Structure 1
């Protein structure tokens, strides 16, 4: 089978990121301390990615990634690569269940454009390693995720200085992504994944009433669990959802028909912790009904994601990848239980449009989740075992 005949999702799939080997952690630390230069760091990254690709092939994966090994964050590094955007230190990081992230963000310095993004070269390196029987895939943050970052309290003043008209901001984000996607396509990419936590935040009232990138402080959350600001929660969710839908759909509107665009939704993944809770129902009609993607990679590994009933809102022949195997914990799930949950999901989506993956990547940031590399590969082996049982 040639690359042209391979299309993700696959029945046994992954979200994209992998745990970094220790020597890569060491090299990044040495680079930060000025002990090695950018070219020396790149050489170490190249070596690690070459090894990772071989491991993915040996594990039986058809779609391969570079593990996001050249990144510190799953999302911010891409944003920093856009023109008109810089790295920014902020007073507080994202608040997760048990930990606070590094305090970094992305701030505008001028109008946003998407040409000559460094991720194009990153993809070319991966593509050269794939071979004819494997599909090289790229993961980037969704346009909505970028918009949400620019609307964080730490960033919104600067964003509004440069874009006093929010419609112009959305339009420029869309044009920047269109430029990037065109250049990525010309580099040979035929599968792009838009990682999007905005929807995972909107299902949780303590985030949704403030906007998906704005974490409420503990004193602002009342006993009912809501964060009460100046906006009505229900109305605000609907308004924000439509805004996120527009920027996502506008950004992929002119994509070449040969490039398959999927999206991944979760509720946060940082050092094995999570940020939000809530089922998909509040955003299902918009996300599942109106977003113009080929497939949804969805978190479903815990009760925090709710049941499968919102999948009834998935329109057309769009596909659903059930993230039933946790990338956060070392314990291996029971294969029979996973197979039973796939069967349960067929109440809402036919089996031929269902797929299986881990619920998220293993290292959404360079720190990685709290499991070993062997446990990571054991999880992937479990996904393959269950997929073989269910679909072959």
Structure 2
């Protein structure tokens, strides 16, 4: 399954200066009755003012703020924002702009798509993770307690604005979290892209801009071929079957330090690469190179036997499962993913043992 392409035919993802021109044109053409900007407390402080300074609108603009963090990506938060929209007079000609990271764009898209059976919305991702993953592709939704993305819809935003100047406000761990999704795109689509990403110490900020666009193009082209995730779009879940379970487990256990999404996915990718060797004949040499690169970027987390059992149990709730079977995305080679792979628990335990032994 070869999925690497260098150009995109998607028209709704716009970059940097052109993005604001396109947004202002979109607002003027549609004559929205009101505009709502959803932020969390971080993007309210760091991103809202420069964003609003670029917006030209005749309609009233109202700001709705939510609490930051994965723990707030919930139906309870949605309920509060739906109520705020109603109290502020939102109607079906309103526009919602989601200005924030993956939690804001995921949850904001779900809220907009369901409020009054759907109002228009625009995503303005402010983190690397949301630029290359969450804000692009049309997946919107919320968690059920600690279980990731159990409720949601697939419907794209009207526009996605990529303004990489927002990344200047981002802490280093958040940058690394987004980088994990870019690395995943390299593994499933393009070995040359993977190699360039793992040589980050040789890259400039201009290089990073180009790599972000390339990562978005990889995802866009996959989504355009399979918008409802019946086939090739499943490849975007590489590292996520175990990664989401690890993220959920660390989120719900007070004795564990919470992991950022990309940190958990990095572990999941190492485990999935080991499984790829065992199930798909992936190169052991490449597995060790991938593991070394990911450990050098993300370090390692401690996983006890009890942790492993509970993480495996959580995988039963993965939304990619069918007929009670847990489905993995594995690799035959870099750029050649294999979807719907079923793996016995014995091999999953061996993958954990491999991870624990990594230096």
TM-score when scaled to structure 1?
A: 0.29
TM-score when scaled to structure 2?
A: 0.31
